[in-house]
Amino acid sequence: MIRHDRPSRKRDSTIPLINVVFLMLIFFLIAGTVAQPLDPDLELVNTSDLDGREPPDALVLHADGTLSFRGTPTDPQTYMTSRGEEPVRIVPDRNVSGARLIEVTGALRRLGATAVFAVTERALE
């Protein structure tokens, strides 16, 4: 009698994959509910219509490397004589060179600024 061997069947490998995906789904469902939800009565502020302006006490560094304070051209020495030893906020133009920004912040620190903060735009998109 001749026996025919049946070809062995490969096990379906999708079952372990389904198990892993299911475990990940459960994990993210649980992890997502850990954070406290916002109060349903809370209405967030809409800032899309606000004008972008520098803070009124900030030193503005323009793209050409010039400085101004409240619309008046200035330099680090003149600015610091009227300020005293306190932190300085500087709003650099996005097109100003990094070397000029480092030069101005270094001069402000040498003239007595305890700290120099660069004010930037934070994009939420």
Structural domain including 64 reads: 59-118
Q: Does residue 10 register a pLDDT over 60?
A: yes
Residue 54 domain-assigned?
no
DSSP reduced 3-state for 27: helix
Residue 52 domain-assigned?
no
Residue 37 domain-assigned?
no
Count of domains forming the chain:
1
Q: Mind listing the pLDDT tens digit for each residue in 48-97?
A: 655 555 566 788 888 888 888 887 888 888 888 877 777 888 888 888 88
Residue 101 domain-assigned?
yes
**Distance between CA 68 and CA 59 in Å, rounded?**
6
Residue 108 domain-assigned?
yes
Using pLDDT thresholds of 50, 70 and 90, give the confidence band for residue 11.
low
Residue 68 domain-assigned?
yes
**Distance between CA 104 and CA 116 in Å, rounded?**
10
Residue 21 domain-assigned?
no
Residue 35 domain-assigned?
no
**Distance between CA 48 and CA 96 in Å, rounded?**
26
Among 2-16, 55-69, 97-111, whose mean pLDDT is lowest?
2-16
